[in-house]
């Protein structure tokens, strides 16, 4: 299952709620304001780092760029994908759950 | 529609525009900026507060071309032309998000959460976005 | 509504502001001006170019008093005043000049 999160972790609990429901085979993709969660050195970044020990985490590059977040600010281990990568992730997983 | 030169002699009130949303995920930030620019025509005592995710609005590296949106970060630099110079940013909001005030596109006054509370309490009108 | 430039239609809203900013060209500016009964002189072009530069830099068309002040700063006090600008653009230096410059209606114009 691919889980997408599109809300800022500093404005809603959606990221935490998503991470609490990950099961075997899960992957997380941060999009839109969700990409703020990939910022290293923050509480959300620590949650992502911990999640990375069990599940892959991806972040959408154009959304990072829109928000002025450079790759060296992103938590190590998070993989940046473009729109094509987004589509590939959707195809690779049986289902997608959008955490809105 | 009229094009007055803004020389009015009415009552001047203290207006605070509170910005608490990230810039591109919702329309709030852009709408707030437009209302602020329009309000400048009324010659009021206008302040802008940026707290919580609102601090992201001022990040100079913002570049939404890749998600097909207009880069309105540049417009904050026009606020000075509109005589809007009181921009307050909450320090705790920056710290929580790992954002440095060096990253901002315009000069701002960084205040503590407690000071922000006092700024809010001192207003006649507060508009929230 | 629409303007016609060299046989090609350029879409505008009901007030005459062009819809797609990328459609603007100097010949189009002449055509919009003509529809407003204006003949463009170098003094007009100075203001039009100023507005386009302002829009490029700040992503907004300035309100009239902001325009007046900024023109004064850049082109001198003899040009940064209401009389000079209204003589050039009788229907409002911000609104009418922005229309000819291919920009949206000014922000902060009420």
Question: For a pLDDT cut of 70, what percent of chain A falls above it?
Answer: 100
CB contact under 8 A, B63 and A42: no
* Contact predicate B79/B36, CB 8 Å: yes
**Alpha-carbon torsion, ordered B27, A18, B62, B47, to 10 deg:** 50
Find tokens 């605070």 and name the residue.
B16
Domain boundaries, chain B: 14-128
Residue B8: predicted pLDDT = 53
Residue C94: predicted pLDDT = 84
| Fold of the A2-99 domain | Hypothetical Protein Ychn; Chain: A, (3.40.1260)
Express each pLDDT in B55-112 by its tens digit.
999 999 999 999 999 899 999 999 999 999 999 999 999 999 999 989 999 999 999 9
User: A51 pLDDT exceeds 70?
Assistant: yes
- How far apart, in whole angstroms, are the C-alpha atoms of residue C87 and residue A53? 70
CB contact under 8 A, B78 and C60: yes
Q: What interface predicted TM-score (ipTM) does this complex get?
A: 0.87
Token readout for A36 is 């703020």
* Contact predicate A18/A1, CB 8 Å: no
**Closest CA relative to residue B104, chosen from B63, B57, B70, B51:** B57
Q: Look at the pTM and tell me if it is higher than 0.80.
A: yes
Domain boundaries, chain A: 2-99
**Closest CA relative to residue A60, chosen from A78, A38, A83:** A83
CB contact under 8 A, B37 and C107: yes
Residue B41: predicted pLDDT = 83
- How far apart, in whole angstroms, are the C-alpha atoms of residue A90 and residue A69? 24
Q: Which of C66, C67, C80, C98 to mutate to test the interface with B (most CBs of B within 10 A)?
A: C66
CA C28 to chain centre: 12
**Which of C5, C50, C109, C110 is an active site residue?**
C109
- How far apart, in whole angstroms, are the C-alpha atoms of residue C71 and residue A58? 49
| Fold of the B14-128 domain | Hypothetical Protein Ychn; Chain: A, (3.40.1260)
**Chain B positions in Cβ-Cβ contact with residue A69 (cut-off 8 Å):** 61
Token readout for B100 is 């440095």
Q: Is C109 a catalytic residue?
A: yes
Handedness of CA C70, C75, C77, C83 (dihedral sign): negative
| Fold of the C2-100 domain | Arc Repressor Mutant, subunit A (1.10.10)
């Amino acid at each position: 299952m691919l889980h997408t999160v599109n809300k800022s972790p500093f404005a809603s609990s959606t990221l935490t709620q998503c991470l609490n429901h990950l099961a075997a085979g899960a992957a997380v993709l941060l999009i839109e304001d969700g990409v703020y969660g990939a910022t290293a050195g923050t509480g959300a970044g620590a949650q992502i780092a911990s999640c990375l020990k069990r599940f892959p985490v991806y972040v959408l590059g154009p959304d990072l760029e829109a928000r002025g977040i450079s790759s060296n600010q992103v938590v190590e281990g998070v993989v940046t994908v473009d729109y094509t990568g987004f589509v590939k992730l959707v195809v690779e997983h049986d289902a997608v759950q959008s955490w809105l | 529609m009229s094009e007055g030169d803004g020389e009015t002699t009415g009552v001047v009130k203290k207006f605070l525009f509170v910005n608490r949303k990230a810039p591109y995920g919702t329309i709030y930030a852009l709408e707030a900026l437009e209302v602020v620019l329009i309000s400048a025509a009324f010659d009021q005592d206008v302040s802008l507060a940026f707290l919580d995710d609102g601090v992201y609005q001022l990040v100079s590296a913002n570049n939404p071309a890749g998600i097909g949106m207009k880069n309105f970060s540049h417009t904050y630099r026009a606020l000075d032309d509109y005589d809007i110079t009181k921009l307050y940013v909450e320090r705790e909001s920056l710290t929580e998000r790992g954002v440095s005030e060096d990253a901002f596109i315009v000069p701002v006054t960084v205040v503590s959460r407690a000071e922000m509370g006092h700024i809010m309490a001192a207003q006649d009108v507060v508009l929230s976005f | 509504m629409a303007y016609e430039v060299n046989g090609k239609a350029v879409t505008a809203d009901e007030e005459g502001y062009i819809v797609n900013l990328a459609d603007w060209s100097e010949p189009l500016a002449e055509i919009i001006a003509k529809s407003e009964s204006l003949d463009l002189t170098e003094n007009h072009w100075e203001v039009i170019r100023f507005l386009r530069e302002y829009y490029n830099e700040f992503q907004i068309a300035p309100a009239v008093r902001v325009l007046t002040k900024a023109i004064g700063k850049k082109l001198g006090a003899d040009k940064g005043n209401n009389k000079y600008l209204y003589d050039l653009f009788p229907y409002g230096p911000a609104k009418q000049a922005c229309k000819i410059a291919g920009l949206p209606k000014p922000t902060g114009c009420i």
